[in-house]
Amino acid sequence: MRRRCTWNIFQSIEYAGEQDQIKLYNFFGFLMDHFTPASSESKTDLNSSMMQRNLISHIFHKNEICLDTEWERYFCYKSIEVTKSYTGPHLTFPMTFCGVSKLVEAFKHKEQLHARYVLQLLGETWRLLTTFPNISHVIACHTKPITICGDLHGHLEDLLLIFYKNGLPSSDKPYVFNGDFVDRGKNSLEILLILFGFLLVYPNDVHLNRGNHEDHIVNLRYGFTKEVLGKYRVHGKKILKLLQMIFSWLPLATVIDNKVLIVHGGISDTTDLDKIARVDRQKYASALRPPKMKVHGCMTKMNENREREACGQVEGRRRVCSLTYHSSAPDHRHDLPRRSLHNTPVCSKLDLSVDEKLNRRLSGFDQARCELKKSDSYLESKTTETDLDEWKQIVDVLWSDPMPQNGCIPNEVRGGGCYWGPDVTEEVLRRNNLQLLIRSHECKQDGYEFCHNRRVITIFSASNYYEVGSNRGAFIRMGPDLVPHFIQYQASTTCRELTLRQSVGWTERSALQALREQLFVHRSDLISAFQEFDPNNKGMISVTNWASTTERVLNLGLPWRVLRPQLVSSTQHGMMDYQQWIKELSITEPKLEISDNSILDTMYKNHSNLETIFRIIDTDHSGLISFKEFHQTWELLRSHLKTEISAKAIADLAQSIDFNKDGSIDINEFLEAFRLVDISAHN
């Protein structure tokens, strides 16, 4: 298995996770937009229904405390005391270069900034960002070339290495950081605080573009929410709310000398920089759903306070609607294995058979009936064509990827944005009198990559992104000639000490480990699919059928016949023992007494979805949920997956992982208890 195959494994698993994130979010959106309790429900059922709806609804609403006076009251840092026992860095405001430099040194030595200073720094950042345009304009000159960095994803060591090689940001050393500062890595918050600190000191020389991970819904799944709450247990919730506002105010693009466009994801055939410049960007706290327009009824607090003049716009999220595709059914997990935000159906009216199916699945709606919002007595909503156009502009900028073929199609691999070809690049650059597009969003083995006749550059600054040795990081230096100069690096000392063969071997083993885990969690589906080719139940199938069936079940787009020698230990005359193969995957499971093993299969396959729902239901961010909330989590997952999980199985699971028998479940302990371990990786 060579490097390209290894790379495909990592990337396919990553993008499959992004698809699951969007499918889960669309499911919640479908519940919010299309269902309301019927008047015939009992009081108990009605209360249960409304509780479920409320649990889901709060994820779609941007923080509604945005007036300066309310901000001062809610996010006020002045009442937070810095005790004498605090040994971390102290900040003074307004920020200075010396102050931010000390902050960098403190984070280098793994010190933690006091919550008072965090809130104060974030508050100042928010106020500054509200004065910025959607598109930042930068001028390059001989005396101060511009440095452009791609995704950092919480890799503080990469940011520190960039500063070591290139120098700290200053009026003589301008930087553009192209989004995706957070998630996946362990030091996302430290990266944000450093970048925001330099932004406050040099607002004309430090430029931050928004990435698709600067989104509070995405953060629920990919680690940033968990990181903040773990580091700031008392004030973490306020920090997250403030960051949610900050993310929505980050600029969407940067232009150098009116010739070089820098965006996080990319473009599409409908990208219009004039429209992007006019978008009310703070409406999009999450870019996964367009904003909602209220037609009847009352407005939210935010609407009353800030946008009474703006035709009643509110900060809710309507279910993703395609500009070109329409359907009358909600997303079914296995109907279309690859879906895009732009290709997600919207319902003007719902097919009754689908309605009946969902009604049977919905938690709190069992034994009850649901109906679509048809009556004028309910608050109706619509999304205007202008809203959808603005939303699509933002989604394309944050989520899109280039492709070698001409044209522009929905990005069905990630589930959001589009794939655009070289013809689209040429047209958008020509129309805007540009000569180069710089984007990030995709990990590249060398840290950067040219495409589209060298008119598009992908820059990625998080080295060792998938695994130690998997990729280099890079950044760009660009002077007034607008010629990009690339500086590559590898942040890990361990990786720098390995030979090329050792590094490739290490990465291959990690990729295979991740792939074996995917095979293991889908073992029940794989066995059922293999049995279609084993009518006599001999436990044997051909290698050809093994490869095609494995792809059909996992849908990862991998060359399974090429991978077969790495995954299957033995074959005879083109046949393999698939039951023995499943046993040889060398994965250990938790030792828990559970009455229904199917719930374990569901747990393994939907580990990330479960964590996302846990984080949503844990509204007080305590890290603990009650048995009742635990049951609600599984009911939501059951509805999402269209599967049956018995109440007894859920109760048994809750009892088995209530380790201290206090009637509550620690989310992190629960998820760790079900972490799969590849035995071969430890041998």
Query: What are the catalytic residues?
Result: 213
Residues with Cβ within 8 Å of residue 561, at least 6 apart in sequence: 543, 544, 547
Q: Which residues are paired to 136 by β-bridges? A: 254
Residue with token string 């709190």: 364
Give yes or no for a contact between 478 and 484, defined as CB atoms under 8 angstroms apart. Answer: yes
Judging by beta carbons within 10 Å of its beta carbon (0-12, 13-18, 19+), is residue 207 exposed, middle or buried?
Answer: buried
Integer CA distances (angstroms), 510 to 9, 26, 276, 505, 552, in order: 10, 32, 41, 9, 23
DSSP state of 138: E
Measured CA to CA, the distance from residue 250 to residue 243 in angstroms comes to 10
273: tokens are 């920089």
574: tokens are 């083109």
46: tokens are 């009605």
Closest to 461 (Cα-Cα) out of 150, 202, 669, 246: 150
Measured CA to CA, the distance from residue 363 to residue 358 in angstroms comes to 10
Phi, psi of 603 (to 5 degrees): -60, -50
Give yes or no for a contact between 196 and 132, defined as CB atoms under 8 angstroms apart. Answer: no
Give yes or no for a contact between 469 and 296, defined as CB atoms under 8 angstroms apart. Answer: no
Closest to 597 (Cα-Cα) out of 639, 656, 538: 656
Give yes or no for a contact between 248 and 282, defined as CB atoms under 8 angstroms apart. Answer: yes
Query: Which strands make up the sheet holding 436-439, listed edge to edge?
Result: 135-138, 253-256, 260-262, 436-439, 456-459, 448-451
Measured CA to CA, the distance from residue 486 to residue 472 in angstroms comes to 12
Judging by beta carbons within 10 Å of its beta carbon (0-12, 13-18, 19+), is residue 433 exposed, middle or buried?
Answer: exposed
Counting Cα atoms < 13 Å in the Cβ hemisphere of 53 gives 16
Residue-wise burial string across 583-610, b where 16 or more C-beta atoms lie within 10 A, e elsewhere: eebebeeeeeebeeeebbbbbbbbbbbb
Judging by beta carbons within 10 Å of its beta carbon (0-12, 13-18, 19+), is residue 571 exposed, middle or buried?
Answer: middle
Give yes or no for a contact between 347 and 328, defined as CB atoms under 8 angstroms apart. Answer: yes
Measured CA to CA, the distance from residue 498 to residue 473 in angstroms comes to 17
- Centre a 10 Å sphere on the Cβ of residue 422 and count the other Cβ atoms it contains: 18
Closest to 463 (Cα-Cα) out of 158, 164, 166, 154: 158
- Centre a 10 Å sphere on the Cβ of residue 279 and count the other Cβ atoms it contains: 18
45: tokens are 């059922």
Measured CA to CA, the distance from residue 524 to residue 490 in angstroms comes to 40
The radius of gyration of the chain's CA atoms, rounded to the nearest angstrom, is 25
Counting Cα atoms < 13 Å in the Cβ hemisphere of 132 gives 31
DSSP state of 441: S
3-state SS class at 260: strand
Give yes or no for a contact between 616 and 637, defined as CB atoms under 8 angstroms apart. Answer: no
Closest to 161 (Cα-Cα) out of 495, 510, 508, 503: 495
Measured CA to CA, the distance from residue 201 to residue 259 in angstroms comes to 27
